Amino acid sequence: MHLGSIARKRRTVAVLLLMSALLGLSPHGLAQTTPIVKTEGGDIQGVAERNVLAFKGIPFAAPPVGELRWRAPKPADPWPGVRRGDAFARGCIATPSVTADAGGDSGPHSEDCLYLNVWTPKADSAAKLPVMVWIHGGAYLFGSGAVTIYNGAPLASKGAVVVTLNYRLMQLGFFAHPALEADSPGGPANFGLLDQIAALTWVQQNIARFGGDPGNVTIFGQSAGAKSVLALFASPPARGLFHKGIALSSYVVPDAPRTKALEVGTKVAVALGLDGANATAAQLRAVPAARFGEIKGQGLSNAPVPISGDVVLPQSIQAAFTAGRQARLPLIVGSTSDDSSVAAAFGIDAVALLKRLGAAGFLVRALYPGAKDDTELARQATRDLVFTMPARWIADHHAKRAPTWRYYFDYSAVKTRRTFANGVPHGAEVPYVLNTVDIFEGTKKIATAEDLEFARSTSDYLFEFARTGKPAAGDSPAWPSHRARQDRTLILGETIEARSNFMRARLNIFLGAGRVLDRVLGRR
């Protein structure tokens, strides 16, 4: 090509690039979707992500550091100028060495961690889209709203505004100590739950500007996230901040009474090198935050449960649902076919549990005629006592007061079915529920067309529940509501189907065996 022609071509390209910049176009001719949203804290600029808009690392509360450690979250200070929303903030101090594949956060951690993330198909205040707020699990020991498996883009592409959030964990999030008690008798101990409430308050104040409807907010979470959903249903300060809930694989482990939490707090002070119950609040607040991620030993945490007996949970979750004092809002509850895979992490030895049943163990054996040995029997019994039965119990009690749906998740990825012959492990349902199978590191390399279609259907049920208050999924089977006297469960497996009286006889025996359950849980 002649040199003059090359020069003219370069000038033409330069002019086109300049015009594109002036018109807000990319070099490929596509409009740059980087809107600026005005929140109460300041302006934030989003980024385009998988055909939706993402706004990451938005502060919803002031950093809980220094004198704000172990206090209710305070409003975040406004920021000047335009904040970039293209990167996640640091996760809260957590148990180390838990990978993102296991639901942990592989990124850096900080005590300054109260941030949330928003995905939306349109940042239009007139859109009034359903809002779905995801509360991560992790036994109140690890996790963050930034883990890839929780990416909100797929649900946002269906038409929801999706929010993920961080909340304080471990001893920084769920803690009581005599020194704090002296400063604020009967004051908060569930600081992590207060963070969740602060995030929901932020949603009420700001989500309309991202296209969401503050009058249609669904909270949902798995494991400790599900425990949080039920805690928020039971919590008076959370009333009016959400309108529906989804609890995935909550568990029977009872909330920690405040008296026990005070004993734990004293042991924590000793482990930190302080004078146990005599440690002062100032001394406790002077401990470097990273130290809480390093202390090890039995009885040094209230995990995996919140604390009953504070302003957030004046009574336990179980007591609130028994008395009918929970929020009377639509609720979905359920579990997986091998939730007992996490029992050891909860300090439960399945085989030892079976032995603790004593004479009642003979009855349990009769309930599982297909179990080939004690290991298999213990696995199935633990699954049902710790996970399946609590979902049924919650469904029975809540159905007396509000619309309730129950599910049982039994779908494994096509290429892992031999690996997970016992069923779906604890947490393995999450990429299907959030439709992140083709994003999450643990599934995207093995995902088949069948897996992706199942994820689409499963997430459709929950999206429609968030949108309308009733779970539905196009041509998939109808999901009937659950009632105590009309036991209906949706089986989410290779075949999706509604069943009546699912495990009813077995679970009825467990529900009626209060003394047996106390023995299983080691209650006094």
**What would the pLDDT profile of 33-50 be if each residue is shown by its tens digit?**
589 999 999 999 999 999
Q: Averaging pLDDT over each range in 31-40, 227-236, 339-348, which range is the top one?
A: 227-236
Burial class (CB in 10 A: 0-12, 13-18, 19+), 103: buried
| d(C-alpha 79, C-alpha 280), whole Å | 34
| d(C-alpha 56, C-alpha 145), whole Å | 10
Q: What's residue 353's pLDDT?
A: 72
Quick check: helix, strand or coil at residue 3? Answer: helix
Residue of 72 and 419 predicted with greater confidence: 72
For 68-119, how does the pLDDT look when each residue is reduced to its tens digit (9 = 90+)?
999 999 999 999 999 999 999 999 999 876 777 666 776 789 999 999 999 9
Name the token pair of 203: 């949603």
Q: What's residue 270's pLDDT?
A: 97
Residue-by-residue DSSP string for 75-136? PPPP-SSEEE-SSPPPEES--TT--GGGT---S-EES---EEEEEES---TT--EEEEEEE-
Q: What's residue 299's pLDDT?
A: 93
Quick check: helix, strand or coil at residue 264? Answer: helix
Range with lowest mean pLDDT among 39-43, 92-96, 205-209, 395-399: 92-96
**Is pLDDT of 17 > 70?**
no
Range with lowest mean pLDDT among 3-12, 53-62, 174-183, 473-482: 3-12
Q: What's residue 362's pLDDT?
A: 67
The bridge status of strand 496-500 relative to strand 488-493 is: antiparallel
Residue of 322 and 20 predicted with greater confidence: 322
Range with lowest mean pLDDT among 17-26, 101-110, 225-234: 17-26
Q: What's residue 354's pLDDT?
A: 72
Mean pLDDT of 441-469: 97
| d(C-alpha 497, C-alpha 279), whole Å | 57
**Is pLDDT of 501 > 50?**
yes
For the chain, the straight-line distance linking the first and the last C-alpha, in angstroms and rounded, comes to 89
What confidence category does residue 26 fall into, taking pLDDT thresholds of 50, 70 and 90? very low
Among residues 89, 185, 96, which one has the least CA distance to residue 144?
89
Q: What's residue 293's pLDDT?
A: 87
Q: What's residue 469's pLDDT?
A: 98
Say what the pTM is. Answer: 0.91
Task: Decide if 302 contacts 261 (C-beta within 8 A).
Answer: yes
What confidence category does residue 244 fall into, taking pLDDT thresholds of 50, 70 and 90? very high
Among residues 236, 238, 234, which one has the least CA distance to residue 217?
238
What confidence category does residue 7 fall into, taking pLDDT thresholds of 50, 70 and 90? very low
What confidence category does residue 15 fall into, taking pLDDT thresholds of 50, 70 and 90? very low
The bridge status of strand 36-39 relative to strand 52-59 is: unpaired
Q: What's residue 29's pLDDT?
A: 31
Counting residues of the chain whose pLDDT is more than 70, the rounded percentage is 88
| d(C-alpha 421, C-alpha 346), whole Å | 22
For 466-480, how does the pLDDT look when each residue is reduced to its tens digit (9 = 90+)?
999 999 999 999 999
Burial class (CB in 10 A: 0-12, 13-18, 19+), 227: buried
**Is pLDDT of 5 > 70?**
no
**Is pLDDT of 339 > 50?**
yes
**Is pLDDT of 23 > 80?**
no
What confidence category does residue 14 fall into, taking pLDDT thresholds of 50, 70 and 90? very low
Q: What's residue 523's pLDDT?
A: 43
Q: What's residue 365's pLDDT?
A: 83
| d(C-alpha 440, C-alpha 443), whole Å | 6
Mean pLDDT of 400-427: 95
Q: What's residue 1's pLDDT?
A: 40
| d(C-alpha 175, C-alpha 180), whole Å | 9
| d(C-alpha 471, C-alpha 464), whole Å | 5
For 150-187, how does the pLDDT look when each residue is reduced to its tens digit (9 = 90+)?
999 999 999 999 999 999 999 999 999 999 999 999 89
**Is pLDDT of 301 > 80?**
yes
Computed over every residue of the chain, the mean pLDDT equals 90
Q: What's residue 350's pLDDT?
A: 78
Mean pLDDT of 486-502: 96
Find tokens 């213990």 and name the residue: 378
Among residues 318, 344, 512, 497, which one has the least CA distance to residue 408?
497
